[in-house]
Structure 1
Amino acid sequence: MDRRGLMLVLSSPSGAGKTTIARRVLTEDAGIAASISHTTRARRPGEVDGKDYHFVDKKTFTQMRDERAFLEWALVFDNFYGTTRAPVDEALAQGRDVLFDVDWQGAESLRKEAATDVVSVFVLPPTAMALEERLKTRAQDSDDVVVRRMAGASNEIQHWTEYDDVLVNFDLDQSVAAVHAVLAAERLKRTRLTGLDGFVQGLLTEL
């Protein structure tokens, strides 16, 4: 049955686990693909340009922004992040779902641009100590950056009430299962099933 795709938005303070959850969902569900953002931050070890992010300089990013190429964009820890509009519009029209790993600013922008297409989930850490330990053990950031990210976590968490669903990431497997459940329910929403009217009319003619 034909349906319109949805935009699954995952947000959390850095280190709470949204990226790990997102990767699991993408691996386990063939019906959803990742939105690949443009960013001006430096590439981390193991990241691939065009797969994890489109890495660009600030001049290129600002030019794209001024040309309204982005569906959403934000400045996070001195680096720009943005999602290009055209690939997302095409995917939704074809009934394909798109996953966004963005902060609260990105989520807010997506709601303004396409509120009826957005399903948002906020991921909370089980404790502040667990959040700090995750930031330190992933060894991707300097001590100064970890301190800044911990300071920014408070601001990020204050936006939890703006989301449709909230989960506390006590256990990775349970958190991934919860996101799958959200997806399953949202795909059944009557307003997204564009082929439902014709299907029901067909049933009625057979009764």
Structure 2
Amino acid sequence: MSATTSNKKKSGASASDPAASGFVEIRRRGLMLVLSSPSGAGKTSISRALLARDPLLEMSVSATTRPKRPGEVPGIDYLFVDAEEFNLMVNREEFLEYAKVFGNYYGTPRAPVEAALGAGRDVLFDIDWQGTQQLDARVPKDLVTVFILPPSTRELERRLHTRAQDSAEEVAKRMAKAADELSHWPEYHYVLVNHELEQTIQQIQAILQAERLRRERQVGLHEFVKALREGQ
């Protein structure tokens, strides 16, 4: 949408109506909000809360070769594909990023993300440091990255056991990998310790709001300021 001022004299417009107050909507390019953490640090719960509260935010649906877990919905939680199809997608350069994690492949389809950003919508990513590095190499200007730390190693292990999604052997593997994952925290724009879920959600909402207001993302500003200088 162009940055034009609505007609203040529009018939029937109330004082609280954006049209009556001369409201101007400045066209904005969307951003890519990445949340990363060791398994069990809380990023899935945070992601769900952000999506439920923010209509401008949508989830990036990754393709994966891992089996579907109970309760997951194909096309909403993940695009479940076999290894052959995943490799074909890699060869066709259909991914913005992809990585192998715990023996399975995960990748972010390029087309829906690029369409969302161009339309001014923001896309949320739940990916690890490998995927984040790839995105940073390809689309750094669109990227906002947040690393979420657990309050302690003991609490991280407790959360993994509490969610009851993995076997004891799988929990042990995730705990062993956590130390390596934690070493990548300096690569992120923001780092938060998830002591209390609601507080962490609010902190990320504040980050998102500030990043949306960055000058370089408001691609309609040039047109808007030009109109101001011309007395419109």
TM-score (structure 1 length as normaliser): 0.98
Higher relative contact order (CA 8 A, sep 6+): 1
| The one of 161, 172, 191 aligned to 2:197 | 172
Cα distance in structure 2, aligned partners of 1:191 and 1:132: 41
Equivalent position of 1:21 in the other structure: 46
Tell me the amino acid that sits aligned with residue 88 of structure 2. Q
Equivalent position of 2:12 in the other structure: none
Measured against aligned partners, the alpha-carbon deviations of 1:119-168 in whole angstroms (never above 9, x if no partner) come to 00000000000000000010000111100000100010100000000100
Equivalent position of 1:12 in the other structure: 37
Tell me the amino acid that sits aligned with residue 83 of structure 1. T
TM-fit CA distance, 1:107: 0.6
Cα distance in structure 1, aligned partners of 2:195 and 2:127: 21
Indicate the percent of aligned positions where both proteins have the same amino acid.
Answer: 55
Tell me the amino acid that sits aligned with residue 93 of structure 1. G
TM-fit CA distance, 1:73: 0.2
Cα distance in structure 1, aligned partners of 2:167 and 2:88: 30
Equivalent position of 2:136 in the other structure: 111
Cα distance in structure 1, aligned partners of 2:190 and 2:210: 12
**1:126 aligned counterpart, secondary structure:** coil
Cα distance in structure 2, aligned partners of 1:24 and 1:41: 25
1:122-201 equivalent positions in 2, closer than 5 A: 122-201=147-226
- In the alignment, structure 1 residue 66 sits paired with structure 2 residue 91: yes
Tell me the amino acid that sits aligned with residue 72 of structure 1. E
**2:230 aligned counterpart, secondary structure:** helix
TM-fit CA distance, 1:204: 2.5
Cα distance in structure 2, aligned partners of 1:81 and 1:136: 23
Tell me the amino acid that sits aligned with residue 85 of structure 2. T
Equivalent position of 1:48 in the other structure: 73
Mind listing any 5+ residue stretches in structure 1 that lack a counterpart?
Answer: none
Measured against aligned partners, the alpha-carbon deviations of 1:68-99 in whole angstroms (never above 9, x if no partner) come to 11110000000000001011111111111100
Root mean square deviation of aligned Cα: 0.9
Cα distance in structure 2, aligned partners of 1:201 and 1:49: 47
TM-score (structure 2 length as normaliser): 0.88
Equivalent position of 1:101 in the other structure: 126
| The one of 95, 109, 116 aligned to 1:84 | 109
- Report the structure number with the largest CA radius of gyration: 2
TM-fit CA distance, 1:66: 1.5
**1:100 aligned counterpart, secondary structure:** strand
Q: How many residues align?
A: 207
TM-fit CA distance, 1:59: 1.0
Cα distance in structure 2, aligned partners of 1:112 and 1:199: 31
